[in-house]
């Protein structure tokens, strides 16, 4: 799908072109403008592949506009439309795909679309998507990079970091690679969204939230609509979406990714069957690992979760999943219901856990210590996505 912008100072000409382009299923009109600044604003936001541009406009020529567009997005394709033949040479000097005389005829437009197809091999879009993915994932692991450098590199790849965005992370469970790819393709075709596959899930940038005062409510609503799309691609998979705190500073890109990812990871055990969770609702849990020394984290996990997992391995028991549910549920009866076992079995397992760890699961200190250990265990064992 080619996301396309139309720019012409004559509204009737725009309407006529919109009608003709409606016959092409591979073209999606993302915006139709008589105002240059409004068109440039949308193009700057990224994910625009094609521009139909009038040359003779009152405030600045289409040639001047084309140069501005290429400075923002060098990969965009431009087809000029004008009533004046004398601009043809100038049009091709700025690497236009074609030059169509007004009024645009269906036959001439079809010729331009075919020329566009020849100049844009099918693999181009996948190559661009791959470069975007590599760039975004490099940001997650690279040392500190100057914001100006990030903005420049992002603009070259049609990634809009010049405007604020909400940050979501989708944990797709065991969904297959093709399903993840198809979902990303569908989501980025929606206005205002950017998505890519990270090592652990799917990162999503949402540019539609523009009111920081009530960003959380809008983000939760938007993420819920994403789950509707999710259902068509991961019908049998448990999905969680984590949402980072709204923050317009690009310097905080990595921290926001961690917030969204960790929120989704920590929500997975309690999501039934899937759900949307906001970092601000889960407060300190997603960032515990940032405040505890790594060696201390490992020691705490080894002395608690590690003991339970080893006991289960040696004795073929289910103490770990029982311990999880005891921490998640309000009563032991809820635990028994969740695990489909008898209430007395849960009491017996609880006693074994307490004996093994030397703590009481009825005490605040015991539940807090085990809850912290379990949280750190989740964060240190985030699964990597499979290529299958």
Tokens (6 digits) for 279: 């970092």
Whole-number Å distance between alpha carbons of 169 and 171: 6
Indicate the average pLDDT of the chain: 85
DSSP bridge pairs for 79? 52, 98
DSSP letter assigned to residue 17: H
Whole-number Å distance between alpha carbons of 98 and 111: 9
- For tokens 């960003």, the residue is 215
Q: Which CATH architecture best describes the domain 292-380? A: Orthogonal Bundle (1.10)
Whole-number Å distance between alpha carbons of 224 and 207: 16
- For range 49-53, the mean pLDDT: 92
Burial class (CB in 10 A: 0-12, 13-18, 19+), 257: buried
pLDDT of residue 17: 94
Provide CATH 1.10.10.2840 ranges for the chain. 292-380
Tokens (6 digits) for 262: 């960790």
| pLDDT > 70: percent of the chain | 90
* pLDDT at 5 > cutoff 90: yes
pLDDT of residue 14: 94
- For range 99-107, the mean pLDDT: 90
Whole-number Å distance between alpha carbons of 35 and 5: 12
CATH of 2-120, picked from 3.10.150.10, 3.40.50.300, 3.40.50.2300, 3.10.330.10, is 3.40.50.2300
Q: What is the pLDDT of residues 171-181, one digit of tens each?
A: 887 778 889 99
Whole-number Å distance between alpha carbons of 254 and 236: 30
Q: Which helix (H) or strand (E) holds 155?
A: helix 147-156
According to DSSP H, which parts of 2-120 are helical? 11-21, 36-44, 62-72, 88-93, 106-119
Provide CATH 3.30.70 ranges for the chain. 124-286
User: What are the distances in angstroms from CA 82 to CA 9, 56, 109, 289?
Assistant: 11, 7, 13, 60
In the Cβ-directed half-sphere of 296, how many Cα atoms lie within 13 Å? 8
Tokens (6 digits) for 103: 């009024």
- The model's confidence at residue 375, banded by pLDDT at 50, 70 and 90, is confident
pLDDT of residue 83: 79
Whole-number Å distance between alpha carbons of 53 and 10: 11
- The model's confidence at residue 339, banded by pLDDT at 50, 70 and 90, is very high
- The model's confidence at residue 284, banded by pLDDT at 50, 70 and 90, is very low
Tokens (6 digits) for 136: 């975004």
- The model's confidence at residue 310, banded by pLDDT at 50, 70 and 90, is very high
Query: CATH assignment of 124-286?
Result: 3.30.70
Q: What is the pLDDT of residues 108-155, one digit of tens each?
A: 999 998 888 777 655 466 778 888 999 999 999 877 788 888 888 887
Least confident of 80-94, 166-180, 194-208, 320-334: 80-94
Q: Quote the Cα angle for 322-326-331, to 5°.
A: 125
Instruction: Please provide the DSSP assignment of 318-384 as one string.
Output: -HHHHHHHHHHSSSHHHHHHHHTS-HHHHHHHHHHHHHHHT--TTSHHHHHHHHHHHHHHHHHTPPP
Check the CA dihedral 15-19-22-23 and report its sign.
negative
Q: Please list, in sequence order, all residues whose beta carbon lies within 8 angstroms of the beta carbon of residue 7, skipping any fewer than 6 positions away.
A: 33, 34, 36, 39, 51, 52, 53, 54, 62, 65
Question: pLDDT: is 163 or 332 the higher one?
Answer: 332
Tokens (6 digits) for 374: 């379990």
């Amino acid at each position: 799908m080619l996301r396309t912008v139309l720019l012409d100072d004559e509204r009737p000409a725009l309407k006529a072109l919109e009608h003709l382009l409606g016959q092409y299923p591979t073209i999606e009109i993302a915006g139709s403008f008589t105002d240059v600044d409004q068109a440039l604003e949308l193009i700057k936001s990224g994910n625009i592949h094609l521009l139909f541009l009038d040359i003779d406009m009152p405030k600045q020529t289409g040639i001047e506009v084309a140069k501005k567009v290429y400075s923002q997005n060098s990969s965009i394709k431009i087809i000029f439309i004008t009533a004046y033949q004398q601009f043809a040479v100038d049009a091709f000097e700025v690497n236009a795909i074609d030059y169509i005389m007004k009024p645009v005829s269906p036959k001439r437009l079809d010729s331009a679309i075919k020329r566009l197809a020849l100049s844009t091999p099918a693999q181009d879009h996948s190559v661009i998507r791959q470069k975007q993915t590599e760039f975004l994932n490099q940001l997650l692991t690279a040392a500190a990079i100057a914001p100006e450098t990030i903005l420049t590199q992002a603009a070259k790849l049609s990634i809009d970091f010049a405007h604020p965005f909400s940050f979501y992370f989708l944990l797709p469970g065991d969904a297959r690679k093709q399903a993840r790819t198809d979902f990303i393709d569908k989501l980025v075709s929606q206005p205002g969204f950017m998505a890519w596959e990270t090592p652990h899930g799917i990162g999503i940038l949402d540019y539609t939230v523009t009111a920081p005062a009530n960003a959380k409510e809008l983000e939760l609503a938007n993420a819920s609509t994403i789950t509707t799309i999710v259902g068509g691609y991961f019908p049998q998979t448990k999905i969680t979406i984590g949402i980072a705190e709204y923050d317009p500073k690009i310097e905080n890109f990595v921290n926001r990714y961690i917030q969204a990812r960790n929120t989704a990871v920590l929500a997975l055990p309690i999501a039934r069957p899937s759900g949307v969770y906001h970092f601000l609702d889960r407060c300190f849990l997603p960032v515990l690992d940032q405040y505890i020394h790594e060696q201390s984290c490992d020691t705490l996990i080894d002395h608690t979760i590690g003991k339970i997992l080893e006991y289960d391995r040696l004795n073929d028991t289910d103490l770990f999943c029982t311990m999880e549910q005891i921490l998640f549920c309000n009563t032991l009866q809820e635990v028994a219901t969740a695990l489909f076992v008898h209430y007395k079995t849960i009491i017996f397992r609880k006693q074994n856990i307490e004996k093994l760890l030397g703590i009481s699961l009825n005490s605040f200190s015991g539940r807090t210590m085990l809850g912290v250990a379990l949280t750190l265990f989740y964060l240190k064992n985030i699964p990597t996505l499979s290529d299958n």
